[in-house]
Amino acid sequence: MTTINWEKEVDSRKDQLMKDLDDLLRIDSVKDLANKSDEFPVGPGPTKALQKFLEFGERDGFVTKNIENVAGHIEFGDGDETFGILGHVDVVPVGDGWETDPFVPVIKDGKLYARGSSDDKGPVMAAYYGLKIIKELGLPVSKKVRFIVGADEESGWYCMDRYRASETMPDFGFSPDAQFPIINGEKGIASYILSFPDVPKKDGDYVLEEMNSGIAANMVPGDATVKVTVKNGDINEMKAAFEKYIADNKLGGEAQIDGQVITIKLVGKQAHAQNPKAGINSATHLCNFLSDYAFDGKDAAYINNTAKFLHDDYQGKKVGIDHVDETMGELTSSPNMFRYGLGDEPTILTNVRFPKGSGVDKIVEQVKAHVTEAHVEAAPGAQDPHYTPVTDPMVKTFLDTYEKYTGEKGVEKTIGGGTYARLFERGCAYGALFPGREDVMHQANEYMYVEDIYKAAVIYADAIYQLIK
């Protein structure tokens, strides 16, 4: 039997891999519903990134298919079973704090900086080259292989709804959209929305004219802005108190006064909602500061309930939703979207990642019992927990391959993130973030080590071939 030197095969393709990845990263593929059309269902950028990936497949001799410009696949091989790889080419919004242009890839100190470098364009191209090598070597396969790519993974999964409406999903597979050694468990994902339509009017010394914070349901808000009218109070004292608050809490921000109106911006730190402890929630901090002031009725309900029930509570203990599963771990809670005085009913959206034993209906009822002033409802699009046992032969192959190239023990793990792996009956997420590396997905100055991209491609090539040969 011929032994394939996968490291040598990847090494001979490094320049082309990096060129293709550079082309993909230069496409601003943030969801853009303001410019959506029949041609661009979730905006021009995500569709262009999808088309670019399919162009790579056509160039390299794969069979390709585009599903309504929001999803597509490349495939080769034949067999009774289909092995699947599921990735995405859309990215989260950029946000503040970038030191380079997020869509002009830059390599510094061995790190490739760009939005999407680690989530998920870098890992997608590593997995693609693993598959491309198998095809180019003409190795015999016993299964059909399908690499599916979506263009709306970060917000709603409309891409996979459309894909599954017309295509049969593979029998088993993985998503290169998380961490090594493996993610074989994913918590359920849900969001609940608080509003305060029934709070009686009550005059106060301060009026909350506007509050705006959060750019995505699955991101800890990195900055928050409020506009406050001071009817009866010392506006300069408020400004000084805010400056002391951000200094005491090691936060950023500024306050500007215009007559009796003060505009306050507080700067925290963005992070993925699956790990809210990694961020600093600017919105809850700002409400925590404002809760010391006597606001009008609905303003006070919005501010004070946020400070009381949502600030500095990553497990949802204050609203009674905390829960721990022995295998999947603890529930996490992250209030991420705040809108007040911007046209619609003021709302707060909190994103929850829950293990087995909890659920959407249970979460809503528990929150209602605690936040009694609020109207509570579940946001659409909730997903149940997903788990593929460590005894599954596919999981074992992935762990063994990881051990082969790293010398480190492969162990199972559950995360709060939601990957496409949960769309497989037998599915897991596999790479491409290596242990010990900083997780900068969804953050400013996102990057991935160049050597990790190549190493992931080696692992993917070997593991995929073992599962399809």
Sign of the CA dihedral with 236 first, then 239, 243, and 249 last: positive
Instruction: Take residue 406 and report the two structure tokens written for it.
Output: 């790293």
Those residues whose C-beta lies under 8 Å from the C-beta of residue 370, and which sit 6 or more positions away, are 309, 318, 319, 320
Amino acid at position 50, single letter: L
Furthest CA-CA distance within the chain: 84
Question: Cα separation of 42 and 69, whole Å?
Answer: 9
3-class DSSP assignment, residue 349: strand
Q: Which DSSP state fits 379?
A: P
The CA distance from 462 to 154, in Å, is 28
Q: Which residues are catalytic?
A: 90, 153
Characterize 234-256 residue by residue with b for buried, 16 or more Cβ atoms within 10 angstroms of its Cβ, and e for exposed: ebeebbeebeebbeeeebbbebe
Residue 175: its H or E element: strand 172-175
Q: Is the dihedral of CA 76, 79, 80, 84 positive or negative?
A: negative
Is the Cβ–Cβ distance between 47 and 40 less than 8 Å?
A: yes
Please give the helix or strand (H or E) that residue 449 lies within, else none: strand 447-449
Return d(Cα 223, Cα 220) in angstroms, integer: 9
Q: Is the peptide bond before 181 cis (omega within 30 degrees of 0)?
A: yes
Residue 71: CA count within 13 A, CB half-sphere: 22
CA-nearest of 224, 254, 246 to 340 is: 224
Query: Which residues lie closer than 8 Å to 177 by C-beta, 6 or more apart?
Result: 86, 87, 88, 119, 120, 123, 153, 417, 419, 420, 421, 429
Instruction: Return the closest-CA partner of residue 58 out of 159, 147, 166.
Output: 147
284: DSSP letter: H
Rg (C-alpha) for the chain, rounded Å, is 24
- SS3 state of residue 57: helix
